[in-house]
């Protein structure tokens, strides 16, 4: 566990629920540990609803996104325009659940099985299980009965599980084929009894420390942590994080410390997330532990803040930049070139480069442009490929006059922008740093 230094003004002690003193360092550890768990709880609440809050999808039922993201879509930051998404929430306390998938006939797809700590504890898809029709049985951590035979069984580490699917779409004309595949996704409950209630108690809403502590404990109560976290849990219990307590029952001194430290806790996490990994040629890359964090709770929290539901690097590897070869911000006031050779993109599936405008709050979205192109990649129709397979991409606001450049044009907004490269099924030499992208070259 990486610890932040306690600020001098926040060294006050309080008596926590465990009977041990609580200081700012212990509070930081508790915040960092449960931040991703709270984010998953909030996502579950947003998707499945609660009393007085409409649901986007039922429990144990697929929700399918039917269109590729465009400039009008702003409900998720840094979207992609390569795949359609499908999502499914499971509650495994009432027994195993069987998932049925169609034949994808060689098409790229992936299913990430994500626990409440945001780990991709299992993957299905072209890379791991092939593309033929199949079925999977997902079983909770404490299921005691014999497991089904004759099919793949996935043992989940938590009772609440999010299954998140991505299916490749090759342009707007391919959408109907992909939505037909989505319609063939199936779910069957194998346990006895009726579908469980979505929540056994009303989940909290809001972004303050009271809602944070209550959501953390509701999710921990539903999903007991692993045994190897026993000592950590003993420490964070002093902050009222124990899977049972509620904000209203915490000592006033503990509540006061949470409230006084609350802005700084977020500032520390945002600062750590912004610094991230070192840049190379202006590009910042996925952390090798993304999607499977082990006991790296600091990295887990940073990823939950800036890229919740990130895939593990073996499935998809990301690189992003907002600067040119001299470290200056990318802007639509200038023209840029990104020159990529085949050696720069060692992937087994596909790659794409997406263009985003930068909002004041740091979020990134697609921006409207005259050709409706939000990403460019190896599947872009009419892409011009030069000698030895070299591809020159042109990043600029105005449309290039040269036809060859126009074919490889990724329209930029008028103001500052950033680009993200996604490499699906990346090879080992990309993931381990032996291959790195060249800098974006400013031309004027």
What would the pLDDT profile of 171-229 be if each residue is shown by its tens digit? 889 999 999 999 999 999 987 667 889 999 999 999 899 999 999 999 999 999 999 99
DSSP helix/strand/coil, 336: strand
Domain residue limits at 207: 8-47+200-275
Place of tokens 């800036």: 306
**Residue 277, pLDDT score:** 66
The answer to whether residue 259 is domain-embedded is: yes
- How much is the pTM? 0.87
Q: Which residues pair with 323 in a beta bridge?
A: 329
pLDDT at 10: 34
Q: Would you state the structure tokens that stand for residue 190, as one six-digit string? A: 């194998």
CB atoms within 10 A of CB 441: 15
CB 353 within 8 A of CB 419: yes
CA-CA distance, 245 to 237, in Å (whole number)? 9
Structural tokens at position 10: 């926040």
Distance CA 341, CA 388 (A): 8
Q: What is the CATH number of the domain that holds 329?
A: 2.60.120.600
**Do residue 167 and residue 236 come from a single domain?**
no
229 and 270 in a common domain: yes
Q: Which is it for strands 160-168 and 83-91: parallel, antiparallel or unpaired?
A: antiparallel
Task: Write b or e for each residue in 336-351: b if 16 or more Cβ atoms lie within 10 A of its Cβ, otherwise e.
Answer: bbbebeeebbbbebbb
Whether 1 maps to a domain, the answer reads no
Considering the domain architecture, whether residues 147 and 228 belong to the same structural domain is answered as no
Low-confidence ranges of the chain (pLDDT < 70): 1-21, 192-193, 274-277, 361-362
293 and 248 together in one domain: no
- What pLDDT digit, counting tens, does each position of 399-410 carry? 999 999 999 999
Q: For the chain, report the end-to-end CA distance as a whole number of angstroms.
A: 46
Q: Are residues 167 and 122 in the same domain?
A: yes
The answer to whether residues 175 and 216 belong to one domain is no
If asked whether residues 209 and 250 sit together in one domain, one would say yes
Query: Is residue 216, in this structure, part of any structural domain at all?
Result: yes
Model pLDDT, residue 354: 96
């Amino acid at each position: 566990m990486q610890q932040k230094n306690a600020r001098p003004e926040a060294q006050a002690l309080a008596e926590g629920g465990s009977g041990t003193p609580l200081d700012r360092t212990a509070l930081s550890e508790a915040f960092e540990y449960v931040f991703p768990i709270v984010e998953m709880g909030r996502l579950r609440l947003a998707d499945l609803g609660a009393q007085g809050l409409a649901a986007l999808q039922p429990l144990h039922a697929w929700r399918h996104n039917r269109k590729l993201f465009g400039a009008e879509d702003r409900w998720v930051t840094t979207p992609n325009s390569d795949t359609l998404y499908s999502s499914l929430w499971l509650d495994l306390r009432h027994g195993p659940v069987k998932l049925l998938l169609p034949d994808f006939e060689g098409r790229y797809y992936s299913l990430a099985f994500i626990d409440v700590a945001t780990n991709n504890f299992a993957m299905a898809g072209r890379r791991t299980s092939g593309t033929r029709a199949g079925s999977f049985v997902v079983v909770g951590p404490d299921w005691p009965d014999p497991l089904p035979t004759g099919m793949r069984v996935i043992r989940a580490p938590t009772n609440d599980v999010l299954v998140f699917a991505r299916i490749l779409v090759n342009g707007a004309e391919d959408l109907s084929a992909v939505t037909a595949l989505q319609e063939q996704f199936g779910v069957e409950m194998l346990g006895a009894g009726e579908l469980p209630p979505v929540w056994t108690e009303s989940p909290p809403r809001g972004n303050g420390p009271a809602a944070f502590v209550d959501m953390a404990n509701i999710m921990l109560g539903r999903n007991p942590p692993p045994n190897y976290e026993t000592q950590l849990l003993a420490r964070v219990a002093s902050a009222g994080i124990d899977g049972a307590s509620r904000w209203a029952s915490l000592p006033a001194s503990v509540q006061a410390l949470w409230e006084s430290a609350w802005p700084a806790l977020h500032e520390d996490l945002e600062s750590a997330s912004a610094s991230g990994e070192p840049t190379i040629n202006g590009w910042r890359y996925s952390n090798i532990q993304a999607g499977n964090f082990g006991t790296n709770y600091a990295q887990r929290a940073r990823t939950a803040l800036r890229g919740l539901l990130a895939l593990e690097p073996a499935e998809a590897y990301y690189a992003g930049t907002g600067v040119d070869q001299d470290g200056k911000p990318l802007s639509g006031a200038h023209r840029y070139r990104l020159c990529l050779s085949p050696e720069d993109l060692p992937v087994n599936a596909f790659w794409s480069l997406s263009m985003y405008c930068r909002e004041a709050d740091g979020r990134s979205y697609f921006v409207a442009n005259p050709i409706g192109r939000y990403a460019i990649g190896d599947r872009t129709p009419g892409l011009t490929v030069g000698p030895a397979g070299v591809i020159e991409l042109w990043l600029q606001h105005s449309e290039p006059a040269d036809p060859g450049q126009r074919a490889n044009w990724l329209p930029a907004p008028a103001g500052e922008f950033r680009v993200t490269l996604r490499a699906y099924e990346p090879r080992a030499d990309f993931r381990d740093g032996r291959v790195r992208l060249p800098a974006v070259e400013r031309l004027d």
